[in-house]
A and B are shown apart, each in its own frame.
Chain A
Amino acid sequence: MKMSTMNKRQSWKLKFILILQACLISNLFFPSIAFAYVDPGSGSVIVTTILGLIAAVGYTFRKYFYKLKRMIRGKKAKEEQQDSE
């Protein structure tokens, strides 16, 4: 019971920190980009730029993570094959 309350508290703390970070990031980008656009529809260019930047970090990380994973797996498989020979 105590453990789950602790976990819940920790997860809320983590959520709060992440949200705070997201707000800080958007505040860094927002003013300089926002001034360049006029109509509300073009707001989506600002939004996709900022969300895209955040998404790109995850995309790049996942890309290299899977590459690395494949490399390690490939190496392991090769070693196992050589061992069995």
Chain B
Amino acid sequence: MGRPATWYRRLLGLLPRDLLDRFGRDLEELHEGRLARAVGPAGRLRVWMDAVIDVFACAVREGAARVLGAGKGRGGMGRTMHDLEEAFRAIRAAPLFTLAAILTLGLGIGAASATFAVVHAVILKDLPYREPERLVMVWPEQNYNVSMVAMTHDAVPALEGISGISMWTLTLTGEREPRELTAAFVSPSHFELLGVRPALGRDFLPDEAVDGAGGVAVLSHDAWVGIFGADPDILGRVVHLAGSNHTERQIVGVMPAGFRPLREDPDLWAPLEGPASPDIATDRTWYVNWRVGRLAPGASIETAQEQLRAFAGSARERAPQIIDEEDVRTASVRPLGAYVAGALTPTLWVALGAVVLVLLIACANVANLLLARGEARGRDLAVRVALGAKRANVVRMLMAESGAIGLLGGAMGVAMSFGLVRLVVSRAPADFPRLDEVGVSWTVLLFALVATLVSTLLAGLAPALRGSRVDATHSLARASRSGSGHARTRLTGALVAGQVALASVVAVGSGLMLRSLQQLLAVDPGMDGTGVLTFRADPGEGRYGGPGAYDAFYGQLVERLRALPGVTSVGAIHILPGTTSNWSFPTFPEGVSHPEGTAIPSTNFRAVRPGYFQTVRIPLLEGRTLTDADRVGDQRVLVVNRAFAERWWPEGEAVGKTVRVFSADATPYRVVGVVGDVRQHARDREPLPELYYPQSQWDLFAVGQYLLVRFGDGSDPLAHAAQARDVVWGLDADVPVTEVRSLESVLDSSTRTLRFLTMLLAAFGSIAVLLGAIGVFGVTAYTVGRRVPEFGLRVALGSTRGALVGVAVARAVAPVVGGLAAGLGSALMLSRLLTATLYGVEPSDPFTFAAVAALLAVVGGVAAFLPAWRAGRVDPVSVLNRE
């Protein structure tokens, strides 16, 4: 607590003495109390933001009351307005300078506000539910069945309620064209737990969660409007919805338009049904992917977690083949907000940090512009001082000018932030969390205001103080080579060094992210998605009744697609690679024994049609692939991937071995081939062992498939989407065709968020380098201009022009080199923050550091050289004449 207290005390230093003497202790006490009550880093950040705003606002009011209110006959406010009016008039007289300053500040403030808008929506803002701080994610890594949800509720009293969530796809028929709807199966208490009520009708009743009882559904507002035309008589209507244990469901409710579901956007909700008396071991409903819970009043996450661990231990005893020691160890309860923001959190903070550095660079640039302007106005200021103006008045006038620039820059920044936020939202991948909540809210505007105030102070204070230190006699005698000029050079040199240092930190950060992305994209996903069209076509088990009919349907569909012009091959698989869906079953490879008490390993399992490997170009390493000849009743066959073969049969010879799935006494499958590995879920995850099973031999239940069609003519596969749809509907007009995409975009989807954030950081890096270059250019131009008489003298005394350019460049480059060294040093320390985000690159990657050093050295050198060139063209005669 020591350091925050010190910081706060420092902040309080902005307030006047008399206020602190009387209330300083109270202020510290209140601040400490608020910090102690704040929940999590976001809560503490909010306390600090409030404190900064409070103290700044108070200091500004006090300052205004003291400095401006001193003028008799005019109120403080009137005086301020008068000062601002004069300031606006003054800066309007120098439009080029004003424009440069406003653009620079506006760009910095706009970019910072837009980034803050994203960070605020994704990380800081409360979830849009009742008392969101009490909502938690329960044991996110574990697969649950419905019984386990009920038993967790009983075993963890620290949870007031818990709801399981399972995402399904249901087929709606009988309402114009057939369509697939996304359905969230949830516990009956789901909506009550979140604290939302349906806009129409009711939510679910407890007895609707019993097996076979829950033939009801609640529609989303969008589905109600989009599919049912906002039918006012929707309640009580029975619709045909196949794909779960009910083929018909009665609509009992409609959610309000503003309701934001957790994660995915379902079209409807239905009750999750389970056995009347819960039993982990016999309940087969292992598809409850997520559990959201609400902490009981006063209960802490730690208590809930302890109780969950205890429950996990007893659950392992009841279902040892499903829950292993590792699962018990990872049993956790996590705040829902942090879970939703997920892995993005560190990268977003880095982005916000980077953009704040960019804003600081912009401030340094504006400060330099103001310094240069102050120099140019030395005479004007000297006249004022000679006429008796007080130093405080000159400071006030100059501050009012930077205040006016700050106001305009801030206004431009706010305007820009609206556009930038829209740009960010349109470019962000669709699965970016809480994207629909990103916007310019009051909080974002407040951030922009604080950013404007702080940057105005930062940019304006030093130039104002320096400007007020004019010496009337010297300036009036036009002694521009006086001591204050040298002090100014030192100040600008320090500003340039600071800018270069900040720019190199941002550039290193974005460089590392770019390198990481490059490494990730260089990873071979194990397959080739170019030229492949993919879509889902599921005829619906209700209408087709069973795996045999499904197999016949897909057999015909593949034949007809293959006959399309340009098609080279067609395949199908029931879960597309590059997505997060998964099927994984307990596996018993031949010759491998599982000692008593150890968990049975689960293996990813995919049902495919024969052309699959050829269509997505997964290489056959050994044996054969699947063929149309593998039928129900024949020897059951499998193709395994290399990871599976190497894990269980490291000696080789996988082909010919057998694998049993589900249980040790199940019918064995014979391995007929080994194929290459595929990174099934994401590029940065190692390939997992995998089994491919021919759909033609799958007779347990019907499995809908994704079709994959390779076009060999190099055309855009999406251009053939309509043709492919016609083929499906030519076979059966009631089959919905959904998720029509190119396989390439599916495979890219796992890197899309990272790519987006990397591009954001790269943009910040470029702006940082550009602003830094502008700073170096401006300062060199100024310095060279000031030394023209000296250069003239040197030429007259026999210096060569080349030597003069060298002298000028050396002068200008010194702060660049110093700044670069300091910046790279800081970057070396700061880049460790990126460790969790980087893939295949060390935070201290020498290549990135060398590249940034080279880039900034070259850019800084060029920015210094261009104005220095002028030094070599000085005409000594005219210079000496002028002197």
A associates with B = no
